[in-house]
Chain A
């Protein structure tokens, strides 16, 4: 008895199933036996003793029923507390077990932490980009974006409107299906003066903006209809962030005057925390839409249908039909542009569609969003690999624990409880993994945000309640997923079997399960590595892209000037600035242009004498750029034909031009472009004579075809076209970063009217476009290598375990004359075989899914043979490495010892 109890306690078994009926009978039997014995001793006859014992007890049947009833209550009550007790017991048992094998525990927890942490990180990011509605918007479900969908060749960003187009239908729509409709746009501006000046990102909106979004200010109010009229008193609403940063969250900020650009604005309110409109980028300031006239220096936008800068959001009336709203808006939109449609310069089949409020879900989503979506999927794969690995580790350990589990079953623990214990063990390991994973997510998300998604307005902490709940759910699911197979197989074989096998409970069935897990791991690793390879190649291609100029060593700078400046005055200031910059040590060349590289595109009406129409694709130009004579040389543009401008030509106002190769070929395919004439703005205006042809270059986007572009020198004729120098480019010797401060100081001291000088390496203007591939290449590589390591460790441990298990068999083979090479081959074949199947499976999956990845890549085929081949090679190599040590062990098995071992 005592012995069994000790064993029971040792294995933390609950007491045997309670048997209240049997216990009661034993108790009563003992009672009657003792009473009768006592009476017999007093000299009664056996039958009399029996009768007397009965009499003393009373009505046996009635008492028996009564006692049974009480006992049933007792059992029910103790079962309730028993469950909790058993849980506590299991927990203690688990903790002790985990502490007994710290290496195993750490390995499992870290593996799971990597998987869960990666997922928590990506969830936080995808949640912000795709899942959560914009912060501060009340009832976001009924708010939509109005987008214009045009078909090629009239493509363009579908979300962008001109103000007149917006006006076309505003009143009509508001009257019917919509509760409200609003337009907004963005403008960068300089806030404050002198040393206090800082660049801010302003959102300019109609007064209906706050009403449509139902956003509540934390302080003051949003601007009203009268303040959003042209010429109205200038008011501003601060973002919460700017309020905190610049005004320390002071409540008396209301009524204060802000200098923004050339105007001053009265603060009337503060937006709620986290409110950035409905887009991803952070907003510092909310201004009425007509402030755009002052900020942009022109009111052209008010009366032009071609001035695209606005986006539109609307709140649907509760009863509104989305289809009806879209149809109505489409009709109004086309009616407003009837003139253009009739002339054939605007597509008749343009449609207004209702887009999702989360910009990232719509067609305008930046590339980072698409990559993030993929990465979220990829992290799930990493987690699956981690799960498979942990499952393998648990399986292997389960095999070692077979005997212990067998004994526990023999001692009466129910299989359900045992499975429960094994599962709670894996869930607990996953829970620990989740905790470590959360810490990793905290740092990881911070890093990702800063490096790859800096243009998104993030909440402060990367770990919020949603991330926390997601991680919790993920940890539980992971624990169950990783634990279910080991728990099932661990408790399957009967006691006798496990005892007989002497602890080496390896059966063919289990090793099939392990193989399946290894194959899965290899296949998933391959998919990740292929993704990584494709993104790395894309990034490489994008970096090596022939830009048409040489961005290395270039600095871009632009100035914000106080007051109104005539083009001629700006040119004079620019020339002074350039003279000072050229004198700086380390500066090789200086030029100025408008629009500057990656700062926009500008088209003028364009005519070539003798040609009825220009054969250029509509959105491919020709685009005009005003330049100083030295600009093209400074940029490193290659001259293909003719010559560049001279200073004399610019100063004397000669109408000369340089065109790009595509434009020259397109307009004059059979002749040299040099010496040809074109006209701008008016068909019967003066001739501009082409003097040179330069290599094509990208203007604002590094994807797609190179646009047609022509360059005009800053001089009297260009100034008439309202072209003045906007951006300086400075070619430096060596690292441009070293010169940034010198250049900035020099530019600020050129003239007292200079309020702000923005100076940065030109590469900074290009980099945001490389970010999707940078993000993809870095993260895919990171996760891919992670997956590979995990898979390699998994393969190694299974091979090593199998070799240990087959010691006797290997010994016998050795004894009957198998050579070392044959023994090594045995293990290596297993390693390469399993990996090979996984590689084949993974390749098939990768090829099948490649079509979807294609649009995210840069000039790289999703089936790039180099990437595929390389990854397959790497995986097989890894299989060899993982198999090397076990194979060596196998070849060294001493037959005598192997036979003695059991």
Chain B
């Protein structure tokens, strides 16, 4: 279990993180747990990479952060999507879906005749 099951492109990781915040502010642990549970642990993303994505998007102002109290009353850093982040999520999700559809199409098609 040392390697990521899929070598995720950085942009893809961003989309996953943004998607997790669509429902409202979450702290980093909650983001990681949601992605893990939702994907049935299939993606096996290193959590460090998730935090890198969070901080990078905060720098780009796709996200904002705020310190707040967690569900068991501890200080935690909450992330929340900005309008800019929402736009990025829409654009990213659209292009990812198109990409995936294209790949599926190819995988579902019959093989071309080999020329001899």
Name which of B1, B33, B55 has the most chain A CB atoms within 10 A of its CB: B55
Q: Is A62 an interface residue (CB 8 A)?
A: yes
Contact status B49-A58, CB under 8 Å: yes
Digitize A49-72: 1 where CB-to-B-CB distance is under 8 Å, 0 elsewhere. 000000111111011001100110
Contact status B77-A67, CB under 8 Å: no
Q: Which of B47, B59, B67 contacts A74 (CB 8 A)?
A: B59
Contact status A70-B48, CB under 8 Å: no
A685 to B52: give the CA distance in the assembly, Å: 119
Q: Report the minimal beta-carbon distance from A74 to chain B, rounded to whole angstroms.
A: 4
Contact status A67-B55, CB under 8 Å: yes
Contact status B29-A71, CB under 8 Å: no
Query: Quick one: which of B4-37 are within 8 Å of A by CB?
Result: 27-29, 32-33
Q: Is B56 an interface residue (CB 8 A)?
A: yes
Interface pick from B68-76, B86-94, B97-105: B68-76
Q: Is A34 an interface residue (CB 8 A)?
A: yes
Q: Is A31 an interface residue (CB 8 A)?
A: yes
How many B residues, CB 8 Å from partner? 22
Q: Is A612 an interface residue (CB 8 A)?
A: no
When A30-B29, A30-B74 are in contact, do A73 and B59 touch as well, CB less than 8 Å? yes
Contact status B56-A70, CB under 8 Å: yes
Q: Report the minimal beta-carbon distance from A30 to chain B, rounded to whole angstroms.
A: 5
Contact status A31-B55, CB under 8 Å: no
Contact status A56-B28, CB under 8 Å: no
Query: Quick one: which of B50-88 are within 8 Å of A by CB?
Result: 51-52, 55-56, 58-59, 67, 70, 74-77
When A23-B77, A26-B75, A26-B77 are in contact, do A31 and B56 touch as well, CB less than 8 Å? no
Q: Report the minimal beta-carbon distance from A613 to chain B, rounded to whole angstroms.
A: 99
Q: Is A77 an interface residue (CB 8 A)?
A: yes
Q: Which of A26, A34, A74 contacts B29 (CB 8 A)?
A: A34
Q: Is A35 an interface residue (CB 8 A)?
A: yes
Contacting residues, chain A, for B49 (C-beta < 8 A): 58, 63
Contacting residues, chain B, for A57 (C-beta < 8 A): 46-48
Interface secondary structure of A, over-half rule: helix
A883 to B59: give the CA distance in the assembly, Å: 62
Q: Is A27 an interface residue (CB 8 A)?
A: yes
Contact status A66-B46, CB under 8 Å: no
Q: Report the minimal beta-carbon distance from A597 to chain B, rounded to whole angstroms.
A: 84
A27 to B27: give the CA distance in the assembly, Å: 9
A28 to B47: give the CA distance in the assembly, Å: 11
Contacting residues, chain B, for A38 (C-beta < 8 A): 33
Contacting residues, chain B, for A26 (C-beta < 8 A): 75, 77
Contacting residues, chain A, for B1 (C-beta < 8 A): 55
Q: Report the minimal beta-carbon distance from A249 to chain B, rounded to whole angstroms.
A: 58
Residue of B nearest to A27 (CB): B77
A71 to B28: give the CA distance in the assembly, Å: 15
A73 to B56: give the CA distance in the assembly, Å: 9
Contact status A74-B46, CB under 8 Å: no
Contacting residues, chain B, for A60 (C-beta < 8 A): 48
A609 to B52: give the CA distance in the assembly, Å: 119
Residue of A nearest to B1 (CB): A55
Contacting residues, chain A, for B75 (C-beta < 8 A): 26, 30
When A56-B46, A56-B47, A57-B47 are in contact, do A70 and B52 touch as well, CB less than 8 Å? yes
Q: Report the minimal beta-carbon distance from B31 to chain A, rounded to whole angstroms.
A: 10
Interface residues of B (CB under 8 A from A): 1, 27-29, 32-33, 46-49, 51-52, 55-56, 58-59, 67, 70, 74-77
Interface residues of A (CB under 8 A from B): 23, 26-28, 30-31, 33-35, 38, 55-60, 62-63, 66-67, 70-71, 73-74, 77
| Other contacts beyond A58-B47, A70-B55: 20, CB < 8 A | A23-B77, A26-B75, A26-B77, A27-B27, A28-B51, A30-B75, A31-B29, A31-B32, A31-B47, A35-B47, A38-B33, A56-B32, A56-B46, A56-B47, A58-B48, A63-B48, A66-B52, A67-B55, A71-B55, A77-B59
10 A-B pairs with the lowest CB-CB distances in the bound complex, closest first: A58-B46, A63-B48, A58-B48, A74-B59, A70-B55, A34-B29, A57-B47, A27-B77, A31-B29, A57-B48
8 contacts between A and B (CB under 8 A): A30-B74, A34-B29, A34-B70, A55-B1, A57-B47, A62-B48, A63-B46, A66-B52
